[in-house]
Structure 1
Amino acid sequence: MNKMLAYYTQQSVITDPGEYAHMYADLPSDIPALCTVTQNMLLHIFWIPAYGVELSEERKKEVNIRTVAGMLARIVELDDQPVTVPRTPEQRLVGNCRDFTVFLCSMLRHKGIPARARCGFARYFTPGKYEDHWVCEYWNVDEKKWVQVDAQLDSIQIKTLKIDFNPCDVPGDKFLNGGKAWKGCRAGDIDPELCGIFEMKGLWFVQGDLVRDFMALNRVEVLPWDCNELMPGPDQQVSEANYELLDNVAYLATAGNKSFAELRALYDSTAALHMPADWKP
């Protein structure tokens, strides 16, 4: 247990603030306040109109920044005050759910709180659908369990979406990580055609999020559109030859803390689960 918690307290190549760690000075320690900091730094690319602003296509390209250090570099260009100082929507970095997640994850790890990104599907954006999404998990030391946090759900989104739960404690049936979604589809409990985003949907999409989730559990928090050989496209058939590996990935991603060593071993020993050699964070 201690080894696992120490692992998720360490920054990854993606979440490490690097030379911008000084911007984390005076960060609050409670989860709601850290979510507020995150919301004051980022503007979700799909929600821009809801905040009454118009941004150029060039600004929207900020969503492609992979690392937190890169995000902070751009944030400094927009406004060089500490991250604890709120920005107007125009001054916020354009990102998506994954970026809200890794930003919160970075701050939690900086504070010595074990945290990890989870890729999967939320059930609170579109009724009846499992929508592609990312959340952060942190280790609640008092309750001795992982707690899901959706850092992008601010007051505007909560009201618009009519959210009826605490975003700092997202119920397990409201967000399903990639492992849970894959197992549900394989068991026939979830229709894979309900899983995805926009016109992209199906078991191929679930497979991609399963692999991204497993990579995130190994501190490789890729962009939602980063792909490797185990992430098929919409025009590709899901290969049954990979089912044994993918079922094992899903099992380990959902088996709990006892399987941490096995999870790490599978990732380290399976090249197909890694990003291509030419991929750069």
Structure 2
Amino acid sequence: MVNVVIDYVQHSPMTVLDPSQHWLLDGLPDDPVSICASARTLVLSPEDAVAVGVPKDRLKEQNIRPVRDLVAILARRWPERLERPRPPEARVVGASRHAATLACSLLREHGYAARVRCGFRTVTSRETPRTHWTAEWWSPYDERWMRMDPDPASTGSHPDAGEAPTDFVTAGEAWQLYRTRSPGRPDFASGADSAHVSARISAGVVRDLAALCKAEMLPTDTWGRMAMPQHAFMSAAYLHLIDVVASLCVRDEPAGLVRLFASNDLAVPPHMIESRADEGAV
């Protein structure tokens, strides 16, 4: 059953909307698959933004953390309900994190237990995996988390419910693959400096931990131990800590996740949780 240690039905500071924005949700579908599909239509990838001639100063929208500020931009650019088709220039500029966090917010608004996951995607075992974010909701019928990819760059307009992106692994899974060099799976160390790769994947593990603890941060956000200049040269103790975090994330053990997330090395500073639009990464 869904855990009671972390209440994924209730909003986090990142996913909550202002009361004045609730009218924008009128007309949105009720089922989680359609909700996630709707979130996809609200986000324009940075590459597509440049291609359609969106002003370059709007690229800073990638640095907005709270959903309420993303929705404020959507309402300002196109003052219509979110279910209405909108032109590309009326969408918010961002990547998979924005799409996943918007989907999570809309799912919670409809009473679903929902959460964001940070991980990596790759097409082939020879390709360098890239950071990616997805959304999950709890299905009482299936008694498991169902994963869907609301990323605007994804292929297909309406994936099947619970159909996980086939090339996606959570950051914890990626870390375990990196540490074990599992044959036949994506090589997370291929063609790259090992220290750089370990820093990149371990940062993803910490961001996934934060997301599981309802702190849905930006892909560029750093804090705690991973914000230190020497992060790329991790001590044996820190490697062990990431091993533990990755294992808990993969096993989805909420009590352990909450306990670790409270530590100085891993906790998100309050000022980052409270920041609003355009403040970006620190």
TM-score by structure 2 length? Answer: 0.84
Give runs of aligned pairs for residues 224-239 of structure 1, distance below 5 A: 224-231=219-226, 236-239=232-235
Q: In 2, distance between residues paired with 1:276 and 1:123? A: 31
Q: In 2, distance between residues paired with 1:7 and 1:36? A: 24
Q: Deviations over 1:16-72 (max 9, x none)?
A: 1123233222321223321332122211113336xx611111111111111000001
Q: What letter corresponds to residue 213 of structure 1 in structure 2?
A: D
Q: What letter corresponds to residue 21 of structure 1 in structure 2?
A: H
Q: In 2, distance between residues paired with 1:186 and 1:214? A: 18
CA contact 2:224–2:264 (8 Å) conserved in 1: no
CA contact 1:35–1:152 (8 Å) conserved in 2: no
Match status 1:221 vs 2:206: no
Q: Which residue in the other structure is 2:83 paired with?
A: 84
Deviation at 1:235, TM superposition (A): 7.8
Give runs of aligned pairs for residues 157-236 of structure 1, distance below 5 A: 157-158=154-155, 166=159, 168-171=161-164, 174-189=167-182, 191-194=187-190, 202-231=197-226, 236=232
Stretch deviating more after TM superposition (123-132 or 55-64):
123-132
Q: What letter corresponds to residue 31 of structure 2 in structure 1?
A: D
Q: Which residue in the other structure is 2:278 paired with?
A: none
Q: What letter corresponds to residue 238 of structure 1 in structure 2?
A: M
Deviation at 1:146, TM superposition (A): 0.9
Q: In 2, distance between residues paired with 1:45 and 1:209? A: 21
For the aligned residues, what is the CA RMSD?
Answer: 2.8
Q: May I ask how many residue pairs the two structures share in their alignment?
A: 267
Deviation at 1:250, TM superposition (A): 0.8
Q: In 2, distance between residues paired with 1:209 and 1:6? A: 20
Q: In 2, distance between residues paired with 1:27 and 1:71? A: 17
Match status 1:243 vs 2:239: yes
The one of 247, 253, 263 equivalent to 2:257 is 263
CA contact 1:228–1:273 (8 Å) conserved in 2: yes
- Identity of counterpart residues, as a percentage? 27
Q: 1:133 to 1:4 in 2, by over 3 A?
A: same
Q: Secondary structure at the match of 1:227?
A: coil
Q: Which residue in the other structure is 1:11 paired with?
A: 11
Q: In 1, distance between residues paired with 2:230 and 2:147? A: 29
Show structure 2 runs of 5+ residues with no match. Answer: 276-282
Q: In 2, distance between residues paired with 1:17 and 1:124? A: 35
Runs ≥4 residues deviating over 6 A: none
Structure with the larger RCO, 1 or 2 (CA within 8 Å, 6+ apart): 2
Q: 1:129 to 1:147 in 2, by over 3 A?
A: farther
Show structure 1 runs of 5+ residues with no match. Answer: none
More helix by share: 1
TM-score by structure 1 length? Answer: 0.85
Match status 1:254 vs 2:254: no
Q: 1:274 to 1:84 in 2, by over 3 A?
A: same
Q: What letter corresponds to residue 247 of structure 2 in structure 1?
A: Y
Q: What letter corresponds to residue 266 of structure 1 in structure 2?
A: L
Q: 1:126 to 1:153 in 2, by over 3 A?
A: farther
CA contact 1:214–1:249 (8 Å) conserved in 2: yes
